[in-house]
C-alpha cells in the first residue's frame, strides 16, 4: 500500500497536520493530526510502497517497545489512516 | 474529536501561505466584530487568494505585524484601505493595500454555505447593513437582546446576564 497522492505532512504551529494538496479547500475546522510516532512512520513510508510489517519495524527501530505491542499499535494506526482515506 | 486552539499570530500566517500557494482555506470565525451575519465560534469562513479589491469586500488583512483582522472594506484611497467590522460601531482599521492577505469567498453560517459572489442574501445584507451605520449601535443591541438573549450590562447587577 502507499499514502495517497496529494497528502502531505506539515508542521502547522507545532502540530503534525495532514494537508491535502489538490484539494482546493483545506478545512482547518476538521484537521487530521499525527502524534510523534505516527508522524515518524509517515515520514519514513511516504512516497513509497510499504506494508504493515514495515510500519512495525519502524516503531521497533525507534522505540523501546515489545513487538506484540508495536503490532497492536500499528494495526490501530493503519486502521485510522484507512478510515480517513489517507492510504490506498 | 479534540479541539485544537492555536494563537492567531502563529496560525494565520500559515493559513495565508497556503492561500498564496493557491489553496482555499476554511477556518472557524472568532470574535464578535462581524456580527450580525457572522457569529463567534459558530460559523466558518472560507478564504482565497486576493484578486481585485472593492469596497464592500470582506478581507483578511495583517493590519500590524502578526495582527490579523477580517473586516469589511469601507474605503480604498491612495493605496490605503479602511476597514470596519460589521459588528463594530466606532473603530476602523487603516493600512496599506498590500497588507491584505486573503479574501473572504464563502461563509458557512449556521451550517449553510453562502458563496459571496452568488448569494442574494449576502448581497442584500452587504448592500444594506453598511448604510445603517448611524443606527448600528441600536440594531446590534437589539440583535444581542432578541437573538442572543443578552441583557444590556447596565441593566444587570452582576454585569453579565442572559435570559
pLDDT along chain A (88 residues), means of 10: 89 84 77 92 94 95 93 94 90
- How high is the pLDDT of residue B139? 96
What whole-number distance in Å separates Cα of residue A71 and Cα of residue A87? 18
- How high is the pLDDT of residue A24? 76
Stretch 44-83 of chain B: residues touching chain A, C-beta under 8 Å: 44, 46
Could you tell me if B25 lies within 8 Å of chain A, comparing CB atoms?
A: yes
- How high is the pLDDT of residue B121? 97
Contact predicate A21/A86, CB 8 Å: no
Contact between B23 and A26 using a beta-carbon 8 Å cutoff: yes
Question: Which residues make beta-bridge pairs with A12?
Answer: A15
Counted across chains A and B, CB pairs separated by less than 8 A come out at 39
- How high is the pLDDT of residue A13? 78
Is the pTM here over 0.90, yes or no?
Answer: no
Predicted-complex ipTM score? 0.79
The CA–CA distances, whole Å, from A82 to A15, A19, B57, B155 equal 21, 16, 41, 55
Instruction: Kindly report, residue by residue over B122-160, the tens digit of the pLDDT.
Output: 999 999 999 999 999 999 999 999 988 887 777 766 555
Does residue B163 have a pLDDT over 70? no
Q: How is chain A split into domains, by residue range?
A: 7-83
Copy the grid coordinates of residue A70: 508495536
What whole-number distance in Å separates Cα of residue A67 and Cα of residue A56? 8
Contact predicate A4/A47, CB 8 Å: no
The confidence band for B4, taking pLDDT boundaries of 50, 70 and 90, is confident
Contact between B11 and A31 using a beta-carbon 8 Å cutoff: no
- State the smallest CA–CA distance between residue A22 and chain B in angstroms: 8
Instruction: Kindly report, residue by residue over B47-78, the tens digit of the pLDDT.
Output: 999 999 999 999 999 999 999 999 999 999 99
Instruction: Kindly report, residue by residue over B28-39, the tens digit of the pLDDT.
Output: 999 999 999 999
Q: Which domains does chain B have, with CATH numbers?
A: 8-134 (2.10.109.10)
- How high is the pLDDT of residue B158? 57
- How high is the pLDDT of residue A23? 65
Instruction: Kindly report, residue by residue over B73-120, the tens digit of the pLDDT.
Output: 999 999 999 999 999 999 999 999 999 999 999 999 999 999 999 999
What whole-number distance in Å separates Cα of residue B96 and Cα of residue B80? 4
Amino acid at each position: 500500500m502507499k499514502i495517497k497522492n496529494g497528502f502531505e505532512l506539515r508542521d502547522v504551529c507545532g502540530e503534525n497536520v495532514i494537508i491535502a494538496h489538490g484539494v482546493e479547500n483545506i478545512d482547518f475546522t476538521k484537521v487530521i493530526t499525527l502524534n510523534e510516532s505516527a508522524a515518524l512512520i509517515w515520514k519514513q513510508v511516504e512516497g513509497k510502497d510499504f506494508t504493515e510489517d514495515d510500519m512495525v519495524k519502524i516503531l521497533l527501530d525507534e522505540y523501546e517497545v515489545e513487538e506484540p505491542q508495536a503490532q497492536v499499535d500499528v494495526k490501530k494506526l493503519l486502521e485510522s489512516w484507512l478510515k480517513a482515506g489517507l492510504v490506498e | 474529536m479534540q479541539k485544537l486552539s492555536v494563537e492567531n499570530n502563529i496560525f494565520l500566517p500559515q493559513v495565508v501561505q497556503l492561500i498564496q500557494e493557491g489553496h482555499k482555506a476554511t477556518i472557524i470565525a472568532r470574535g464578535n466584530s462581524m456580527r450580525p451575519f457572522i457569529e463567534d465560534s459558530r460559523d466558518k469562513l472560507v478564504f482565497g487568494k486576493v484578486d481585485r479589491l472593492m469596497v464592500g469586500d470582506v478581507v483578511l488583512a495583517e493590519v500590524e505585524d502578526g495582527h490579523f483582522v477580517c473586516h469589511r472594506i469601507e474605503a480604498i484611497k491612495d493605496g490605503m484601505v479602511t476597514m470596519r467590522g460589521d459588528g463594530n460601531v466606532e473603530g476602523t482599521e487603516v493600512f496599506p493595500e498590500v497588507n491584505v492577505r486573503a479574501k473572504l469567498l464563502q461563509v458557512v453560517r449556521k451550517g449553510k454555505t453562502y458563496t459571496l459572489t452568488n448569494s442574494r442574501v449576502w448581497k442584500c445584507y452587504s448592500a444594506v447593513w453598511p448604510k445603517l451605520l448611524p443606527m448600528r449601535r441600536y440594531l446590534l443591541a437589539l440583535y444581542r437582546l432578541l437573538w442572543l438573549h443578552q441583557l444590556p450590562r447596565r441593566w444587570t447587577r452582576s454585569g453579565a446576564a442572559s435570559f
